[in-house]
Structure 1
Amino acid sequence: MVKRVKPAAKRASAGSKFPKVAGGELITLLDFVRFAVSRFVEAKLAFAHGTTDPVAEAAFLVCEALHLHPDQLEAFATARVTAAEAKAILELIERRVRTRKPAAYLVNKIYMRGLPFYVDERVIVPRSFIGEILDSHFGSGEDGNDAVLGDPAEVERVLDLCTGSGCLAILAARHFPNAQVDAVDISKDALAVAARNVGEHGLETRVTLHRGDLFAPLRDARYDLIISNPPYVDAEGMAALPPECRAEPKVAFDGGADGLDLVRRILDDAGRHLTQQGGLLCEIGRGRERLEAAFPQLPLLWLDSEDTEGEVFWTSAADLG
C-alpha cells in the first residue's frame, strides 16, 4: 500500500530552502517586492547599477523574473504569483544577496530611459545621467530646452567616447534622428556587447563602433556633439568600491590618482574633433572641484538631472579652442 504524503508535508519538503515563503505567505507581486527589500537591507547591499535603492532594485528583479517591464509593476502589483514563478523570484533574490553581483548581470538586462539593453560582466552596468540630459537639455525648443544645442534634427554627427555597452550611442541615435554616431572603446569585449545592443535596436546603419584609445581611431573626423562617460573614480574611491562594483571591469572605473586622467586627455583633444558650433558633454561623477581647479580658465556649464547635481558638464568648441 502506497502511503500518501500530506499536502503540508509536501510544502515543507519542497520549500526546505525557504520554508515559510514556500508555505504560501507570499502571494502577490507586491509581497515579493517587500520580501526582497527586507533581504537586501538585511544584507547591506550596495545600489548604484541602474537602480538607486532597495525598493527599485526589488521591483526590477521581480519584474524581470516575471518577464514584465518595470513600468508594469503597478498594474500587476496585487496579482497572484504561481508556484513556479515564486521559485524563480526567490532564487533570483538569493543570488543577488549571495553573490553581491549587480542585479543587471543576473538577468543580463538594464533599462535606460525606458529602453532595454543587454549587459554582462564584459561591460560596466550603464547608469549615466547623460541619457536624461539629452532629453531634458537638448530639446526641440519647448520650455526653452534648446538653449544649449538647438534643434536635435540639425545634429549630423555624434561621437560617444568610452561607449561600453553602447547605450549612450544608441540613445543619441534615437534623440538625434538625422545623426550618424561613432562609438569608441578600448575594450574588444565591451564592443562585442555594444554590437549586440546596436543590432537589437536596429541601428547598424547609423551607429559605427571603433576600437581604440579615445580619439585615436577617428583621424580628423569632426562632430557636432561629443558625449562621454569615461572612467573617473580616483584612487581613494577605487580602494573603497563595494563588492557590486568590484564585479565590473576595473578599466571602466579607474580614472587615475585624482580621477581625471582620461578627462584631461578628452579636454585636450576634443577641440580638434568638434565642428565650429559643436560641444562636449562629459560626466565626471564627484570630480567637479578637482576639474575646476585643473582647468580654471575653461568655462564649464554644469547640467543637473533629477538625481544629481554637478556631475555632468558642457563646454563648447569655441571655449576648447
Structure 2
Amino acid sequence: MNFEDAKSRLTTVRDLLRFAVSRFNQAELFFGHGTTNAFDEAAYLILHTLHLPLDRLEPFLDAHLLQEEVDSVVEILRRRVEERQPAPYLTHEAWLGDLRFYVDERVIVPRSFIAELLREQLQPWVEDPEAITSGLDMCTGSGCLAILMALTFPNTLIDAVDLSTDALDVARRNVADYGLEDQLSLIQSDLFTALEGRRYDLIVSNPPYVNAPSMQTLPEEYRREPVAALASGEDGLEHVHTILREAPKHLNKGGLLVVEIGHNRDALEEAFPELPFTWLEVSAGDEHVFLLTREQLA
C-alpha cells in the first residue's frame, strides 16, 4: 500500500501505526533523534500530529479518525520516509527528559549526556549548587544545555555561545519560551574569541566532534543536520583542542570544565597524556564526557 492509498483505506490509529511501522522498516530508516526503533517513532509522530498526549497511545488505538486527520498523519509519515528528515524537524520539537525545545534545520537535534549530569547538579563535583554564580555553554546550538543549566543553578548568570547566528535565533526562541532572558545571554562567537575577560565557575560544552571518516558514513538522517555542528577536523577533536587551550583563561579558581566528545576518548587521551581527565558516568558508560578543574588544566 502506498501513501496515497493509505489516505483512503486507513481509518484508525491502529491502522496508521501498523502502516507506519511497516513503511519505516521497509525504508530502513535510521533512528537516533529521540527514539530508537520504528514503533516508538511511528507512535510519536502519530500522537503529535493528532495533538494527543505523547505518553498515552493505548486509549486511542481504535479511534476512527476524520479524513483530514488521516491525511495529516499520512503526510508526515510520507515525509519521514521520502525526505529522511529526523522526526524533530518534522514536528519542530525535541525533548531532553521532560523539557521540550523548539528545533528546526538550523540546529542539530538536542541530545547530550551532559543533560543527565546537570539534572543531578553535577554532584559530587559541585559541592554547593548555590555557589555556582556564573556559567558558560559553549557551542550552545538550540540553547538546551544553557537552559537546563539555568534551571539547575538558578543563582547562575549564563552565557550561551555559538558561531552560527541561525542557531542563536533558535536558541533565542527557546530562552524566551522558558522566560530566562534575564538569566541567560546569547553571544555570537567563534569559541572563546568574543569572551575576552569573562570568567566562569562552570563551563559545559557539547561541541562538534565527528571525525572526517565518520562524516563520510553518517546515516542520511544525520546528513540533514548542519555540518558545522557535527564535523571537527580529521580526528574529531579540533574544537576540543581549542577548548582545552583556552578554558583555563575563562575559569574561576576551582572552576569546572565539562565536555562531551562522543567516541573519541582514546584519541583524546593520546593527544593529551598529561591531563588527568575524570570520565563521568552517564547512561552510555564512562567514555563520552570528561571533567577537568581549572587547576588541572593549568
Distance 1:31 1:64 in 2: 16
Match of 1:103 among 71, 81, 87: 87
* Cα-to-partner distance string for 1:61-84 (whole Å, 9 max, x where unaligned): 1221022343x3246453515123
* Cα-to-partner distance string for 1:251-271 (whole Å, 9 max, x where unaligned): 001110000000011011111
CA pair 19-211 structure 1, distance change in 2 beyond 3 A: same
**Contact in 2 for aligned 1:158/1:224 (Cα 8 Å):** yes
Measure how far apart 1:16 and its partner are. Answer: 8.1
* Cα-to-partner distance string for 1:43-72 (whole Å, 9 max, x where unaligned): 1111222223323322221221022343x3
* Cα-to-partner distance string for 1:268-315 (whole Å, 9 max, x where unaligned): 111111111211111110101000111112111212322454111111
Tell me which residue corresponds to 2:36: 52
SS of aligned partner of 1:147:
coil
Pick 1 or 2: higher relative contact order, CA cutoff 8 A, min separation 6: 2
Tell me which residue corresponds to 2:271: 294
Tell me which residue corresponds to 1:12: none
**Contact in 1 for aligned 2:137/2:161 (Cα 8 Å):** yes
Which has the larger displacement, 51-60 or 150-159?
51-60
Distance 1:303 1:60 in 2: 31
Code of the aligned partner of 2:9: G
**Contact in 1 for aligned 2:43/2:57 (Cα 8 Å):** no
Distance 1:129 1:96 in 2: 26
**Contact in 1 for aligned 2:232/2:239 (Cα 8 Å):** yes
Match of 2:283 among 284, 303, 306: 306
Residues 116-155 of structure 1 correspond to what in structure 2 (within 5 A)? Answer: 116-136=100-120, 138=122, 146-155=123-132
Q: State whether structure 2 residue 16 is matched by structure 1 residue 32.
A: yes
Residues 246-285 of structure 1 correspond to what in structure 2 (within 5 A)? Answer: 246-285=223-262
SS of aligned partner of 2:194:
helix
Residues 2-21 of structure 1 correspond to what in structure 2 (within 5 A)? Answer: 17-19=3-5
How many residues get paired? Answer: 297
CA pair 97-257 structure 1, distance change in 2 beyond 3 A: same
Measure how far apart 1:148 and its partner are. Answer: 1.3
SS of aligned partner of 2:56:
helix
Q: CA RMSD in A?
A: 2.0
Q: Point out the structure with the larger helix share.
A: 1
Distance 1:157 1:192 in 2: 23
SS of aligned partner of 1:224:
strand
Tell me which residue corresponds to 2:200: 223
CA pair 160-176 structure 1, distance change in 2 beyond 3 A: same
Match of 1:42 among 26, 43, 68: 26
* Cα-to-partner distance string for 1:178-213 (whole Å, 9 max, x where unaligned): 111100000111111111111111111111000011
Tell me which residue corresponds to 1:9: none
SS of aligned partner of 1:259:
coil
Code of the aligned partner of 1:19: D
Distance 1:195 1:40 in 2: 34
TM-score between both structures, scaled by the size of structure 1:
0.87
Tell me which residue corresponds to 1:166: 143
Tell me which residue corresponds to 2:222: 245
**Contact in 2 for aligned 1:48/1:127 (Cα 8 Å):** no
Code of the aligned partner of 1:93: L
Tell me which residue corresponds to 1:87: 71
Distance 2:56 2:4 in 1: 24
Code of the aligned partner of 2:92: N
Paired-residue identity, %: 46
Code of the aligned partner of 1:265: T
Code of the aligned partner of 1:48: G
Query: Could you list the runs of 5+ residues in structure 2 that have no partner in the other structure?
Result: none
CA pair 161-111 structure 1, distance change in 2 beyond 3 A: same
CA pair 149-76 structure 1, distance change in 2 beyond 3 A: farther
SS of aligned partner of 2:296:
helix
Runs of 4+ in structure 1 deviating by more than 4 angstroms, as ranges, are 15-18
Distance 1:100 1:239 in 2: 17
Code of the aligned partner of 2:105: E
**Contact in 2 for aligned 1:64/1:107 (Cα 8 Å):** yes
**Contact in 1 for aligned 2:3/2:74 (Cα 8 Å):** no
SS of aligned partner of 1:181:
strand
CA pair 69-220 structure 1, distance change in 2 beyond 3 A: farther
CA pair 210-34 structure 1, distance change in 2 beyond 3 A: same
